[in-house]
Amino acid sequence: MIPGVEGTRLNGLPTSPPILVETSFMDVAVEMRQSVTGQQEVWAHVETLPAFEIALLGHNPKGELTLILMEKRRLATDEPKVKVPGGYLVPGRSMQQKILADTGISINENGLIGTGHVIGHSEIKTPITLYYLPPEGWEKTNEPREGVRVFAATLENAAKMAMGHEVENDSSFSLIMRLYWLWRERLLLCD
């Protein structure tokens, strides 16, 4: 339940009973409110679970810095979408468990390096925390879940994909471009 949404009065002004939709990933409340000028307004409040993305860095046989990406198909369109691994942080499930379930890769959360937050995208409105993990902080231990393809791209090619609108969302775009800038400026904390 979204705190502060009562459906009778808010800050002394009348409101309609809210329409509430609660799912395992988000809660939505929509209601009519009367403004201080007497106008009727539609108010919506969306509250989502925390979300994250983790760029898993590595090196190819040529010694070039690589980034692990995942491709999965969306049910609605059946189109393949490329993104950085991550998602919602569901209560009782760690980032390690989410990454392992999706990609078959085990991570050491203690080695995560934060690069900030982004507001979200069409599915996730909450701030999304962005991290990267140097090569020694992860290893492939299993196969990815069905329908997911995991692959390595050089950081330079990942940036080209992001600039070419080949990544699924703004958070993956932002993380890839942040890492690319850090790498170009020789500020990336990675061997």
Q: How many CB atoms lie within 10 A of CB 22?
A: 12
Residue 55's closest CA among 113, 104, 98? 113
DSSP bridge partners of 135:
none
Residue with tokens 């009348």: 14
**Position with higher pLDDT, 119 vs 54:** 54
Please name the CATH architecture into which domain 51-184 falls.
Answer: Alpha-Beta Complex (3.90)
d(CA 160, CA 173): 10
Residue with tokens 């392992």: 100
State pTM to two decimals: 0.77
Q: Work out the average pLDDT over 146-151.
A: 94
Task: For 62-80, write each residue's pLDDT tens digit.
Answer: 999 999 999 987 777 778 8
**Position with higher pLDDT, 45 vs 86:** 86
| pLDDT surpasses 60 at 103 | yes
Domain boundaries, the chain: 9-48, 51-184
Measured on CA atoms in the order 121, 132, 26, 127, is the torsion positive or negative?
negative
